[in-house]
């Protein structure tokens, strides 16, 4: 049941990841990645906002969020937010060369993908 509820969010996660591939300049890629991060946060928040599962009952049995899974998502989201913000702030300042921009984009993309990968793994298997 929970997988059916989250199917649209998971689709948004993977479609959002495609936006970065259409961007042409490094600045466009950076801001597309920022938009992708926001889409991933929507799915993370939807899972986190479910009521917590009662002790001894997992999300396989009812529509709820598991405390350990929420903690895992939060930890990954904190890292992704910090890397995306650092990337955006550096690019907005306009002082970074292309090599620095690319490294920041790569680091932020890795953090966003790490968060993106966690979300489907915490959903129950039906």
Indicate which CATH number applies to the domain containing 21: 1.20.120
Query: Could you list the pLDDT tens digit for every one of the 126 residues in the chain?
Result: 455 555 555 555 555 555 555 668 898 999 899 999 999 999 899 888 988 888 776 656 667 888 888 999 999 999 999 999 999 999 989 889 999 999 999 999 999 999 988 887 766 555
Instruction: Give the residues across from 65 on adjacent strands.
Output: 52
How far is CA 13 from each of CA 10, 19, 68, rounded to the nearest angstrom?
Answer: 5, 11, 21
Residues near 89 by beta carbon (within 8 Å), at least 6 away in sequence: none
Containing structural domain, residue 45: 2-122
Tell me what pLDDT residue 94 has.
87
pTM: 0.75
Tell me what pLDDT residue 114 has.
93
Cα 116 to Cα 41: distance, rounded to the nearest angstrom? 9
Number of domains within the chain: 1
Tell me what pLDDT residue 118 has.
86
């Amino acid at each position: 049941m929970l997988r059916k509820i989250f199917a649209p969010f998971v689709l948004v996660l993977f479609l959002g990841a495609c936006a970065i591939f259409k961007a042409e300049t490094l600045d466009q890629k950076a801001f597309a990645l920022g938009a992708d991060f926001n889409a991933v946060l929507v799915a993370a928040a939807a899972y986190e906002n479910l009521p917590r599962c009662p002790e001894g009952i997992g999300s396989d049995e009812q529509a709820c969020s598991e405390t350990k899974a929420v903690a895992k998502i939060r930890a990954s989201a904190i890292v992704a937010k910090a890397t995306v913000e650092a990337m955006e702030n550096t690019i907005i300042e306009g002082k970074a060369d292309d090599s620095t921009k690319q490294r920041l984009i790569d680091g932020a993309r890795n953090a966003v993908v790490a968060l993106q990968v966690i979300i489907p793994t915490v959903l129950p298997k039906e």
